[in-house]
Amino acid sequence: MAREPSSLDEGLPSVQPSRDSCDRRRRPEDDKARLVKMSSHLVGKAVSPFLKEHIPGIYAPVAKAALDGDADPPVDRAKDPNTRYCYRHRPDSKCRRAADETKMGFIQRELNSLPVADQEAITHVWSLFSAAPAKHRELMLQGIITQCCFPQLSTVSREVQEQLKIDFLAALPAELSYKILSHLDTVSLCKAAQVSRRWRSLADDDVVWHRMCEQHIDRKCTKCGWGLPLLEKKKLKAWSQHQKAHRRDDAGLYDTEIGEDDGGDYDGDSSKKRRLGGCDQGSSNNSSNNNNNNSNKRQRLGVRSPQLDAERRLRPWKDVYRDRYKVGYNWKTGRCAVKTFKGHENGVTCLQFDDNVLATGSYDATIKIWDLETGEVLRTLRGHASTVRTLQFDESKLISGSFDKTIKIWNWQTGECLSTLQCHSDGVLSVHYDGCTLASGSMDKTVKIFSFDSKQTFCLRGHTDWVNQVRIDSPSRTVFSASDDMSVKLWDLDTKQCIQTFRGHVGQVQQVLLMPSDFEPDAAAVDVDKAEAASAHSSRGGTPTACAETSSLASASASASASASASASAPTANNDGRAWLGPGFAADPTRPEPPRYMLTGGLDNTVRLWEVATGRCIRSMFGHVEGIWGLVGDTLRVVTGANDSVTKIWEPRKQETPTAATNLIAGGGAGMMEALVCHPLDTVKVRMQLSRRARQPGLPKRGFVATGLSIVRKETPLGLYKGLGAVLTGIVPKMAIRFSSFEAYKQGLADEAGKVSGTAVFIAGLAAGVTEAVAVVTPMEVVKIRLQAQHHSMADPLDIPKYRNAAHALYTVVREEGIGALYRGVSLTALRQGSNQAVNFTAYAYFKDALRRFQPSLDKESPLPGWQTTIIGLVSGAMGPLSNAPIDTIKTRLQKTPAEVGVGAWSRITRIASDMFKQEGFHAFYKGITPRIMRVAPGQAVTFTVYEFLKDRLERSNLSLGGGSFEE
C-alpha cells in the first residue's frame, strides 16, 4: 500500500535512487540539505547530558555511589570487580584497550576528506556510542546492523574478524604462557620473541629456557633427537671457582643459604629456579600480594652482592643454550680449529689432554707435556728405555707404560720420576688409574692390579693373547679388559674372578669404553625375547639378566655345579637378579652393579655396543676400512680413529634417517617386487598407448582386459613379461636413487629444528623424480618399450624378433642410432617422473601423518601397520598417473619411433601431440590410463609396503650400515 505524501516530504528535494539502493547519490549542492538542521545549542542539550550521565560510569573504576556525597571511596577492595568477566569482556582490558595507530590514522584521514558538517555528525555519533553503557551500545549496534545492506555487512564481518583477534599470551596468566611456550622448539621460541616486547619477555624467560636446557644439554632429546654438550671442563672449573670465591666473600650477608640463582652452564643438579630479576614485568604486576611476598622474601635473604647479581643476570638460560648450541653445531658440521704439535722424533703412540695441558707418548721413548694454547713444549719426561705405549695423568701425577716392561709414576709438573713398577714380564700396553687403584694390561697376557690403599698387588689371568686395554669401574669394583684373543672380560676385584666374557669380534679388540649410566640406546636395539631374559634394576640403572658366559679360578666341579644351579633357577625381576655377577655381589646387596652398556672397537673395523648383563652385542657399527685403534665418547657421540687415517664421529643411538645402504637394499627389494607383480599391467598399458587405430562407429572400444587376453592368445603368457629384464636391470639403481635422493633433498630442505613442511616434501619428490629420470629411467624405458612393442609369438621359434633381450636391445639401439637414442624423450620423462614422484611422496606423507594423528597410541618411531601402508600407497600411486597421462602417452610414442635427421625433439613432440589430437581425438592422450593406474597404483602400494618393511627390519637389526650418522 503506497504511503500518503506528508507535508514533511514537500520540504525535501526529490532525488532518484541509484542502482545501489544503499547508496543514494545526491548533488553536491544538496549535501547540506540531507542533514538535520540542529544548532549547537540544541546539540549541547541533546548530547551533553547523555555524555555527562554515562562517561563517569564507563571510565571510573568505582561505583557511582562512591562519587555522590562526601563519602570517601574505598581504598582497598577485597574483591577484584573484574573477576566475573572472561578475558574477552574484562572492562579493564577490552573497553580501554590501546587503539591500532595505523587503523586510527586511516580513519582520521578518511574523516578529514569529508565536509565539516559530515565530520561533526559522525563525531557526534561516535561520542554517543563511546559514552553509552554496554546495554545501550548493544541496542545501537543492533539498530545499525539492521539497516546495513550486504556490502556493509561484509565490511562489518571483515572488521569484526580482525578486532576479535587478541593477544592470548597477554590475556593469560604468566604461568600458563610459560606452559604454552615450553612446548615450542628453539626456532619457534626465537620467532615468538620477535612478535612484541611482551612476547619477548615471556619467550626469553628462564622458566622456558631452563626446561629447554634440561631436555637437550648432555643428553639427547626424545622428541627432536637433538643433544648439546656440556660446558668445557676448563670453563666449568673456572666458573665454579669464581662462584665459590663470591660465596665466601658474601657469606656474612646471607641469613640463609642461596643455591637457586647460580649461573653458569647447566648440570643435572642445578635448581630449576629462575635467575634473580628474571621475572617479567607483566607477571609481577598480576597481584600486589605476590609483590609483597617477593619483597619479604628478599628481606629475609639479606642484601646480595651487586656484582654477583649482575653476573647472574648476564647469564640467563637462553645464553647457556645458545653457547651449547654453537658447540653442538660445530660438532655436527665438523667445524674446528686445527693445531699441529711438532717435537717428537718418531711416531706418537698415545696422548691425553686436560684443560690446557696435552701429554703425548712416542716411539722415541719420551713423554712430552704441551701447552694447548701456545703449542709449546712445557717439559720432556725421559726415563723409559723403549716405546711409551700408554699414559694417563691428573693434576699432580702422570702414569706411563712402556715396552720396556715397566710402569713409571711421574710428577709431570716438575719432571721427576716418583716410582718405577717392574711387574710384567713383557711390554705394557695399557694403564688405567682411578682413585687408589691402578690396572695394567701387558703383552704377557695378564692384567695387574695395584691398590695404593692396601699396598696389595695381584694378577688376573684368563686371556690367551695380549691385553690391549683395561678399564676400571670404581663404584662396582670391577675391571674390563680387551685382548687380542678377540674377547673382552669383566673381572671382580674383590673375588679376583672373571664374571663375564664378551665374544663377537672377529679381530683383535683394541679399545673398551664404558658408557655413562644415563645412556640409553633405542628400544629396538634392546628388545630381547622375554622368555630368554628378564630385567632387573640396580643403582646403576635397570639391568636385564640372563645366563652369561662365566669363568672363574675355582675348580671345574664347582663351576659345573654353579652353572647347573644358575640354570635351574633363572633370575627374574621378582628374585635376585644379581646372580650372574657372582658371589662377590650376592654377598653385598648394596654394592653397585657394573655399567649397563659398553662399546668396543677392534681390528675387524667395527664398533660394537654391548649389554653387559647379558653379554649380547646389540649393535655393530661399520664404517672404517681398516682396524680401529682409538675409541672415546659420551652419551651424545662416539669418536673413533683407525688405520685408514680417518676419524669418524658416530651417533650410538638409533638413527632418524635411513643410511644410503639401507635405502639401497630396501629400495632395490621393493623395486624388484613391484616389477614382478605389476609388469604385465605395464605391458598392456604400452600396447594400448601404441595402438593407432581409431575406433570404428558401432564397434566397442578395446579395453585393457581385451588387450591383455589378445597378448596371451597370440604371444603366450610370457608375452606379458616382455622387457622384464630391462626393468630388473634398472630397478635397483632406480629405486636406490629415488629414495636416497628424496631423503637427501628432504633433509636439505628441512628447517633448523629438522622439520620438513609439505612444500619441502613436494619439492624433494619433484627433484627425486627428475634425478631418477635422467640417471636411470629414460635409458631403461627406451629399451623396455622397444621390447614391448614387438608383435611376435614367443612360442614360434621361426618368428625371430629384432630385439632378442634387454642386453641385445641396448646394444642394437646404441649401434644403429647412437648413445643419444637412449635419452630420447628425456625431457618428457623427467617431467613425468618429477610430477609423479612429487604427487606420490606428498600424498603418501600427508596420509601417513593423518593416520598417525588418528592413532595417538602408535609409537612415533615404529612404522604403520602393513595394511595401512598398502592402502595409502595405493591411493597416492593412483594420483600420479591422472596428473600426467598426456605426458606419458606422448613420451611413449616418441621413444618408440627412431630419430629424424634435422628435426628437433620439441618439434617432434609438438607434431606427435598434434597428430594424435587430429587423427584420434582428445581421448587418445588418455589411452592406457586404466591399465596405467592399475599398474602404477598397485606398484606404489607394493613399493612403499616392501620398502617400509625392509627399512624397518634393517634398522631393527644390530647393523649400522655405513657407520650410521657420522662425519669425517
Can you say how many angstroms the Cα of residue 417 is from the centroid of all Cα atoms in its chain?
Answer: 52
The whole-number mean pLDDT for each consecutive block of 10 residues of the chain, a chain of 968 residues, reads 45 44 49 50 59 55 43 46 58 57 85 88 85 85 90 87 79 88 87 90 89 78 67 55 52 38 41 38 40 41 46 71 84 83 93 90 95 91 95 92 94 92 93 92 95 90 95 93 95 91 93 88 52 41 37 35 36 53 82 92 92 88 88 87 88 59 71 76 74 56 75 81 72 77 82 75 88 83 75 58 76 82 79 82 86 75 77 80 74 69 72 79 74 72 81 63 40
Q: Are residues 327 and 357 in contact, defined by beta-carbon separation less than 8 angstroms?
A: no
Q: Are 210 and 274 in contact (CB under 8 A)?
A: yes
Long-range contacts of 327-331 (CB under 8 A, 24+ apart): 327/228, 327/229, 328/226, 328/227, 328/228, 328/229, 331/229, 331/637, 331/649
Provide φ and ψ at 546, rounded to 5°.
Answer: -160, 170
Q: Is 449 left (phi over 0), alpha (psi -120 to 50) or beta?
A: beta
**Diameter of the chain measured on Cα atoms:** 132
User: How far apart are the C-alpha atoms of 552 and 499, rounded to whole Å?
Assistant: 7
What is the pLDDT at residue 63? Answer: 43
Which residues, including other chains, have CB under 8 Å from residue 643's CB and lie 6 or more apart?
A: 624, 626, 627, 628, 629
CB-CB neighbours of 846 under 10 Å: 14
pTM of the entire predicted model: 0.54
**pLDDT value of position 381:** 95
Instruction: Parse the chain into domains and list their residue ranges.
Output: 46-68+81-166, 173-333, 343-461, 674-962
**Site of grid cell 588387450:** 707
pLDDT at 937: 78
3-state secondary structure 226-252: CEECCCCHHHHHHHHHHHHHHHHHCHH
- Spatial neighbors of 393 by CB under 8 A, at least 6 apart, are 352, 354, 357, 359, 399, 410, 412
What is the pLDDT, as a whole number, of residue 378? 93
Q: Residues 252, 255, 259, 263: is their CA dihedral positive or negative?
A: negative
Rounded Cα distance, 313 and 319, in Å: 11
List, in order, residues 6 or more apart from 389 with CB less than 8 Å away: 349, 350, 361, 401, 402, 403, 427, 428, 429, 430
Beta bridge partners of 228: 217
Reduced DSSP (H G I as helix, E B as strand, rest coil) percent helix, strand, coil of the chain, to 5:
45, 15, 35
Cα–Cα distance, 783 to 723 (Å, whole number) = 8
Residue listed under C-alpha cell 695423568? 393
- Whether the CB-CB separation of 465 and 484 falls below 8 Å is answered with yes
- Are the C-beta atoms of residues 456 and 443 closer than 8 Å to each other? no
- Measured distance CA(609)–CA(655) in Å, rounded: 15
Q: Is the CB of residue 612 less than 8 Å from the CB of residue 603?
A: no
Q: Are 472 and 434 in contact (CB under 8 A)?
A: yes
Element (H, E) at 541: strand 541-545
Give, as one character, the DSSP assignment of residue 302.
Answer: B
Taking the mean position of all CA atoms in its chain, how far away is CA 409? Answer: 47
How big is the chain by its Cα radius of gyration, in Å?
41
Using alpha carbons only, give the angle 714, 811, 904 rounded to the nearest 5 degrees: 90
Topology of the domain covering 674-962: Mitochondrial carrier fold (1.50.40)
Statement: 343-461 belongs to CATH 3.20.20.80: no
DSSP string across 326-376: HHHHHHHHT----------SS-EEEEEEETTEEEEEETTSEEEEEETTT--
- CA pseudo-torsion sign 206, 211, 212, 216: positive
Beta-strand relationship, 509-514 and 597-602: antiparallel
CA distance 65 to 555: 101
Place of cell 621393493: 670
Cα 132–Cα 133–Cα 139 angle in degrees, nearest 5: 75
**Each residue of 17-30: b (16+ CB within 10 Å) or e?**
eeeeeeeeeeeeee
**What are the DSSP E strand ranges found in 581-651?**
597-602, 606-611, 616-622, 628-633, 638-642, 647-650
pLDDT at res. 444: 94
Residue 213, SS3? Answer: helix
| DSSP element (H, E) containing 420 | strand 416-421
| Terminal C-alpha separation, the chain | 93
Q: Report which DSSP code applies to 398.
A: E
